[in-house]
Structure 1
Amino acid sequence: MMRSFLIGLVAGQRGITPLAAIATATRRHDIPADLPLQNLMLNPVVAAGTALFAAAEMAGDKMKTAPDRVVPIGLAVRSVTAAYAGAALAPRDQRFLGATVAVGAALASSYFGWRLRCAAMRRYGQTATGFVEDAIVMGSGLAIASPSLAKAIGR
């Protein structure tokens, strides 16, 4: 259940990153493609699409007009992607609990991360803090969803 919780923390910061992490883990066979639609993640075009959408979200975050992550649509997206990723990382008989834990973590961390980012932006600016946050979020998401990838990089 810890991986579900942790991917929820990731979803709280970037809504699409959990899907890209799950697609990567599915293609690497680190997690089974058991959930509805997860077989789609085995398709290289779909997997690349999740990565492109995650990158687009990260690029958009640097724009002055980017909405706060705590606006209702942002929280809704984070809840959906956290639920899916949390279920994918939970044991088969605990998928609902994994989804619930991930959504709770995503919603709580959205507000916490937003406040931290606002404080950091006053000192370091939007772009610099965004790049640091992106690196932490993407690296964490991949390490949580695909431990074999993290191990391979660490060699």
Structure 2
Amino acid sequence: MKSTSSAVLKTVGLGALTGMRAVSGLSAVSNSLSKQQSLYYLGGTRYSFLQSPFVASALSVAANAEMAGDKLPTAPNRIAPLGLAGRTLAGALLGAAIFKAHGGSDIQGALLGGIVAAAAGFGSFFLRKKIAQRTNLPDPLLGLVEDAIVRKAGKRLIG
């Protein structure tokens, strides 16, 4: 494996961001791979579609739409069953792709990414609620702060 610690760090970090914003981690991975900013390559694997510029663009649009939708009063809680399942699957996919790109086991990466995304979904949900209670800041404002954290951390983790 090219770098076990690097794959684990990226998977845990991007999995955690996926718990906060379901599409952001995958978007970061796909954008990096499509622009060949990464030293890693997924050609010939079942994850090679993530290197497509079209997929990278579609995931970027989806990530931005998710961030906008999060501020709406009708946005479902991230721990609602469907949302949590989506986060878990997105975390599993990004973990599998990252581990495979680093020469490791996609199964291990999927398990790590999925577990971290699910745990971070719950953790970030309750943390945001607690901060809102203690500060009386409006939830959409906290969502914007969360968006900024996800964007900045995603760029640092994927680099």
Task: Place the TM-score, normalised by the shorter chain, in its bin.
Answer: 0.7 to 0.9
Letter aligned with residue 119 of structure 2:
A
Matches within 5 A, 1:74-113: 74-90=83-99, 91-113=102-124
Matches within 5 A, 1:33-112: 33-34=42-43, 35-36=45-46, 38-90=47-99, 91-112=102-123
Letter aligned with residue 59 of structure 2:
T
Give the secondary-structure state (helix, strand or coil) at the position aligned to 1:92.
Answer: coil
d(CA) in 2 for partners of 1:107 and 1:96? 17
Structure 1 length normalisation: TM-score?
Answer: 0.86
Unaligned runs of 5+ in 2: 1-7
Letter aligned with residue 81 of structure 2:
P
Letter aligned with residue 11 of structure 1:
T
Quick check: 1:5–1:98 contact (8 Å CA) kept in 2?
no
d(CA) in 2 for partners of 1:107 and 1:42? 25
The two structures, once aligned, show a CA RMSD in angstroms of 1.5
1:6 corresponds to which of 2, 13, 23: 13
d(CA) in 2 for partners of 1:12 and 1:46? 21
Matches within 5 A, 1:16-27: 16-27=23-34
CA shift, 1:5, in A, is 1.3
Give the secondary-structure state (helix, strand or coil) at the position aligned to 1:65.
Answer: coil
Unaligned runs of 5+ in 1: 148-155
d(CA) in 2 for partners of 1:13 and 1:104? 13
Give the secondary-structure state (helix, strand or coil) at the position aligned to 2:104.
Answer: helix
Quick check: 1:4–1:86 contact (8 Å CA) kept in 2?
yes
Letter aligned with residue 131 of structure 1:
L
| Identity over aligned pairs, percent | 30
d(CA) in 2 for partners of 1:103 and 1:74? 13
2:157 corresponds to which of 144, 148, 154: 144
Q: How many residues align?
A: 145
Structure 2 length normalisation: TM-score?
Answer: 0.84
CA shift, 1:4, in A, is 1.1
